[in-house]
Amino acid sequence: MEEQIRSILKTIGEDPDREGLLRTPQRVSQALEFLTQGYRMDPEKVINDALFTEDYEEMIVQKDIDFYSLCEHHMLPFFGKAHVAYIPHHKIVGISKLARLVDVYSRRLQVQERLTNQIATIIMEKLDALGDAVVIEAEHLCMRMRGIQKQNSFVITSTLLGAFRTRQETRNEFMTLIRQKG
């Protein structure tokens, strides 16, 4: 990858041999590898490693999970907060794993809609949950830096499954919880 970064530097009009850029191909390669490590992580394994049987059927919410992703159209960052909730049905997963799942899917080339869907779908499938919900609020540098949209706009996406889709009370409870500060 370093050779390719060198040729990109030349293509944009830079001199990859000047002092400040000497180690840039190596740094960019390492950064890209880190930012795309989700491809080398297995979401099923993340869940299965921390799955417990528990007679609990109330809503579990983890909100304000920071995430950083790269948009697949421009390979520029989009980032913000993810809110994840589910209602278990005999099976619960270690709470830190919800944030881990967000990492698994965000550290890839993504579009925000698919990121939201993938997190919701894997929790629903692997936990056999009564329902789950994922809301993501993000800002996209490909919009801001390229000046296409309003500078301070956020994009909000949501996927609601099971009880979160069918029961308005459940949906309202979730929305109230994620809007509370602190």
Q: In three state form, how does the secondary structure of the chain look?
A: CHHHHHHHHHHCCCCCCCHHHCCHHHHHHHHHHHHCHHHHCCHHHHHHCCEEECCCCCCEEEEEEEEEEEECCCCCEEEEEEEEEEECCCEEECCHHHHHHHHHHHCCEECHHHHHHHHHHHHHHHHCCCEEEEEEEEEEHHHHCCCCCCCCCCEEEEEEEEHHHHCHHHHHHHHHHHHCCC
- Considering the complex, what minimum distance in angstroms separates the CB of residue 170 from Zn ion? 33
Whichever of 36 and 62 has its CB closer to Zn ion, that residue is 36
Binding site for Zn ion (CB under 5 A): 71, 73-74, 142
CB of 76 to Zn ion, least distance (A): 6
Nearest to Zn ion of 12, 148 (CB atom): 148
Nearest CB to Zn ion, comparing residues 10 and 73 = 73
> Does the annotation mark 14 as catalytic?
no
70 vs 82, beta carbon nearer Zn ion: 70
Q: Which residue is nearest to Zn ion (CB)?
A: 142
Q: Is 140 a catalytic residue?
A: yes
In the set 44, 72, 113, 149, the catalytic residue is 72
Q: Are 114 and 72 in contact (CB under 8 A)?
A: no
Among candidate residues 74, 89, 90, 173, the one labeled active-site is 74
Q: How far is the CB of 36 from Zn ion (least distance, A)?
A: 15
Write down the catalytic residue from 4, 57, 73, 149: 73
Which residues are identified as catalytic?
71-74, 112, 140, 142
